[in-house]
Amino acid sequence: KNQVEQSPQSLIILEGKNCTLQCNYTVSPFSNLRWYKQDTGRGPVSLTIMTFSENTKSNGRYTATLDADTKQSSLHITASQLSDSASYICVVSARITGGGNKLTFGTGTQLKVEL
Amino acid sequence: EPEVTQTPSHQVTQMGQEVILRCVPISNHLYFYWYRQILGQKVEFLVSFYNNEISEKSEIFDDQFSVERPDGSNFTLKIRSTKLEDSAMYFCASGVIGGKNTEAFFGQGTRLTVV
């Protein structure tokens, strides 16, 4: 069964500090791995998307890494801001035979940035 | 910037009633999805739709659920005979035609409350 596990479950950091979120997955057939940011009561917003051949991808203060051999990914946030407070969700995509992609979501890491 | 639009933002219905959740995907997208998120839980895949037919559905998507693209712009999720456990946020997503990097853009969700 396809699964995505994330750690930690929740995290509190001070504004300006860096943090790293972890993701482990067992999804087949692997298509790509995405990190989403979800504010409470809102839809997920894509931060990065990486294919099998990509090791790292950056989007501003967000840097994602992917180790396809160990099936692990991380999301590093630098110089955190109060607005970074949200749930960060690791999502792994499997190609659907009939077309499109089926996304398997992790449970997310709830990040809170404080003054 | 184009976005996926969902209506209503919040729907309250009595148990046993039928509800229709509506979505307007991004105009040039061809792949459409419904996901749901029960409060406090992770986002779960329901169904994917391409070329006017379901390409994949999860075990959650039983005979109680159906999807339709009635007029070439709207994409609807119908839930018949709603149950208390159907209460959740329902997210519509759409993606452009393309390879395994097909991105899925999410709407803001419809919060369904079954009472």
Q: Which of A103, A107, A109 is the best residue to mutate to test the B interface, defined by the most B CB atoms within 10 Å of its own CB?
A: A103
**Mean pLDDT, rounded, for A21-36:** 91
Q: Tell me phi and psi for residue A87, to 5 degrees.
A: -95, 130
Q: Is the predicted pLDDT of residue B97 greater than 70, yes or no?
A: no
**Mean pLDDT, rounded, for A5-30:** 95
What's chain B's average pLDDT?
A: 90
Q: Which residue of B has its CA nearest to A95?
A: B100
User: Please, are residues B114 and B61 in contact by the beta-carbon 8 Å criterion?
Assistant: no
Contact between chains at B109 and A106 (C-beta distance less than 8 A): no
Query: Of A72, A85, A70, A88, nearest to A115 (Cα)?
Result: A85
**Mean pLDDT, rounded, for B81-101:** 84
Tens of pLDDT, residues A72-98: 999 999 999 999 999 999 999 887 777
> What pLDDT, on the 0 to 100 scale, is given for residue B98?
47
Strand partners, A3: A26
Tens of pLDDT, residues A33-71: 999 999 988 888 989 989 888 899 999 999 999 999 999
> What pLDDT, on the 0 to 100 scale, is given for residue B102?
60
CA distance B94 to B75: 10
Contact between chains at B104 and A103 (C-beta distance less than 8 A): yes
Joined tokens for residue A65: 């890494």
Contact between chains at B42 and A108 (C-beta distance less than 8 A): yes
**Mean pLDDT, rounded, for B18-47:** 92
Q: Is the predicted pLDDT of residue B28 greater than 90, yes or no?
A: no
